[in-house]
Every structure is written in structure tokens, then in C-alpha cells.
Amino acid sequence: MNIWKNQVPVPDTLYRQVYLHHPALLETDRKISLVAGQKEIYRLESLPEIFSYGIGSWEHGYIPFGGNFNYNIGVGIRFTIPFWGGSDHKTKMHQSELRIQQMAEEKSQVFMDMKQEIDISLNEISTLKNDIENQEKIARLAQETLNNAYVKYQAGQGPIIDVLDAQSIFTEAAIAQRKSMLAYLQAIARLHYITGNDNYPF
């Protein structure tokens, strides 16, 4: 508990971890890559293809070849017209570009939502850390009060009711401190979930 309590998470570091490693954003990157690859395929379909060829043969298997060798060498160009004409080809490329832009905008929105969630979690963690410190102070004071009341009771200078009251206050303070610690650990777990990493965020 003390190890986590003394750590201070850096928002920019968490933002970077989320942007580079969060599964939801990585999945969007993968989809963008697939659509970009499909767009490249559409683009390559209409490009001319240059090829060369060479054919050689000899008759009767005589060596040296001499007059028995025939050859044919040439260069050609092939142009594949996209299916249903060029306009459909351009439409497919444009649709792919629009899908890429849409997914990039969705990724940006998801990232902004995650940043907001991280900020809320960090504020909650900071508040809970302060609450834990206050509860620890209250618990220490309650413990001192209980000790004093018990000493006075043992010495015959205080009634048992003071000891019981001090014990009740100390118990309530200890319970409140435990609740604050539990809420703090839950906030850390939530931040860990939001960042989507395998390791603890700080």
C-alpha cells in the first residue's frame, strides 16, 4: 500500500502509453492499415505493367548451336482496365480514403475519451491520497486518546465510560481509514484498466 501511495503518476506518460499500447487503439490502427492496403491494391490495378520476355530453342541437340539455335527476345507493355471502367476504380479508392479518415477520427475521439477518464481517475486518486493521510492522523489521535483514557482508568482517575468512548472513536477512525485505502486501491485498479496495459500504470 505504501509503495503505491508514494508513487506519483505522470499524466503525459499515461497518455503516451494509452496511445501506443491500448488494445482498442491498436485494433483501429490495424483496420486502418487493412483499408490502406486495399486502397493501394485499387491503385495498382490501373497501372501499366511492363514486361520482357525471351524464348530460345535449338534443334537436334547439337553443340555448338550454330544454325540450329532459334531465339526471340522482346519487350511488351500490358494495361489492365479496372473492372467496370475507370470511374468505378476511382470511386473505390475514394471510398477507401473516406473510411481511413473516418476511422482516424474515431480513434482520435476514443483517445480523447480515454484521456478524460485518466484525468478523472488521477483526480480521484489525488483526493483519496489526501483522505488517507487525514484518516491516518485521526486514527493516531484516537489511539492516543484511547491510551490516555486507559491509563487514567488503570490509575483510578477516569471512568470506564471514557475508555469505551475512546475505543469507539478509535474503531470508527480505523474503519474509515480502511475504507479510504480500499477506495484508493480501487481507483488504482480502475486507472490500470483504463490504460489497458499489462503492467501497473505507475
The pLDDT, as a whole number, for residue 201 is 44
Rounded mean pLDDT, 27-56: 71
CATH number, position 156: 1.20.120
How confident is the model over 54-86, as pLDDT tens digits?
555 555 555 555 555 555 555 555 555 554 445
In a domain, 178, yes or no: yes
In a domain, 201, yes or no: no
The pLDDT, as a whole number, for residue 59 is 56
In a domain, 11, yes or no: yes
Range of the domain at 119: 2-36+107-195
Specify whether the CB–CB gap between 195 and 13 falls below 8 A. no
C-alpha–C-alpha distance, residues 197 and 190, integer Å: 12
C-alpha–C-alpha distance, residues 80 and 48, integer Å: 7
The pLDDT, as a whole number, for residue 93 is 77
Burial of 81 (0-12, 13-18, 19+ CB in 10 A): exposed
In which element (H, E) is residue 73 found?
Answer: strand 69-78
CA distances to 32, 33, 112, 119 from 197, rounded to whole Å, are 22, 22, 17, 17
Rounded mean pLDDT, 42-51: 62
In degrees and rounded to multiples of 5, residue 103 shows phi and psi of -65, -35
In a domain, 80, yes or no: no
In a domain, 55, yes or no: no
> What are the start-end ranges of the H helices in 51-85?
none
In a domain, 138, yes or no: yes
Pull the grid cell for residue 103: 476511422
In a domain, 47, yes or no: no
Provide the number of structural domains found in the chain.
1
How confident is the model over 123-139, as pLDDT tens digits?
998 898 899 889 889 88
The pLDDT, as a whole number, for residue 67 is 56
C-alpha–C-alpha distance, residues 87 and 42, integer Å: 12
Residue whose C-alpha cell reads 480500499 in the numeric block? 182
CB-CB neighbours of 182 under 10 Å? 11
User: pLDDT band for position 202 (50/70/90)?
Assistant: very low
Q: What average pLDDT is seen over the chain?
A: 77
